[in-house]
């Protein structure tokens, strides 16, 4: 035979609709013979009714906005994966642009070396030879090369 305290716990489970059929039958029998537990059943039910009558103020757009303001402040914007993706895309674009510029520069430079520079080198060397007939062409060409490496204008 269980004590009233154990039955009271069953009453609590019963009003929540969570009691097993066996325990419910056991409780039924006890309630028919125990006025204290029958009273407890009514009291526990009454708590539920009272609590359901307690009203909660409406959830407003203002409350929602105040939460969102707090959320926005805390969002880790810089570590945001989308920001990282955007940053990587930007870096790739800049790198591609730099590569194009460098490549164009190289092409331009090599074209000058192959076509313009040897011609210029030769014409300047022949000018030097013309102004100084004792100067061999090979030396004049070397002087041109030297002036290029020292960034000195041969004409001066």
Partner 1 sequence: MKNSQTSSDSLEKLIRDCQNGVESAWEELVARFGLVVHNFAYSMTNNQADAEEAAQEIFVKLIKNIQKFEFKSSFKTWLHRVVVNGVIDFTKKKKRHTKVSLDEIDPNNVASIAHNDKPSGEIEREEIREKVWKILNELPEHYRAIMIMREMEERSYAEIAEILECPVGTVESRLYRARNMFLEKLKYYEGK
Q: Pull the structure tokens for residue 18.
A: 């969570």
Q: Whose Cβ is closer to partner 1: residue 74's or residue 114's?
A: 74
Q: What does 77-118 look like in DSSP terms, one character per residue?
A: TTT-HHHHHHHHHHHHHHHHHHHHHHHHHHHHHHHIIIIIHH
The minimum distance between CB 17 and partner 1, in angstroms, equals 9
Among 46, 18, 51, smallest CA distance to 27 is for 18
- C-alpha span between 82 and 75 (Å, rounded): 13
- C-alpha span between 74 and 121 (Å, rounded): 67
Contacting residues toward partner 1, per CB under 8 A: 8-9, 12-13, 16, 18, 43-44, 47-48, 50-57, 59, 63-64, 66-68, 70-72, 74-77, 79-82
Task: Judge whether 7 and 27 are in contact, CB under 8 Å.
Answer: yes
The minimum distance between CB 25 and partner 1, in angstroms, equals 18
Q: Whose Cβ is closer to partner 1: residue 71's or residue 153's?
A: 71
Q: Pull the structure tokens for residue 120.
A: 């210029």
Q: Whose Cβ is closer to partner 1: residue 68's or residue 94's?
A: 68
Q: Whose Cβ is closer to partner 1: residue 18's or residue 156's?
A: 18
Q: Whose Cβ is closer to partner 1: residue 66's or residue 108's?
A: 66
The minimum distance between CB 19 and partner 1, in angstroms, equals 10
The minimum distance between CB 14 and partner 1, in angstroms, equals 11
The minimum distance between CB 67 and partner 1, in angstroms, equals 5
Q: What is the DSSP letter of 150?
A: T
């Amino acid at each position: 035979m269980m004590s009233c305290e154990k039955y009271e716990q069953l009453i609590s489970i019963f009003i929540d609709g969570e009691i097993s059929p066996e325990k419910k039958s056991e409780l039924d029998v006890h309630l028919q013979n125990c006025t204290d537990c029958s009273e407890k059943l009514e009291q526990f039910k009454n708590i539920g009714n009272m609590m359901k009558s307690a009203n909660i103020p409406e959830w407003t757009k203002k409350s929602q906005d105040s939460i969102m303001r707090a959320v926005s402040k805390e969002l880790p914007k810089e570590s945001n994966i989308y920001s990282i993706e955007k940053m990587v895309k930007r870096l790739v674009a800049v790198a591609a642009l730099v590569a194009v510029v460098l490549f164009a520069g190289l092409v331009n430079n090599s074209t000058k070396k192959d076509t313009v520079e040897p011609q210029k080198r030769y014409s300047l060397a022949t000018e030097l030879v013309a102004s100084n007939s004792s100067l061999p062409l090979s030396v004049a060409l070397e002087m041109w090369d030297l002036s290029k490496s020292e960034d000195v204008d041969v004409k001066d």
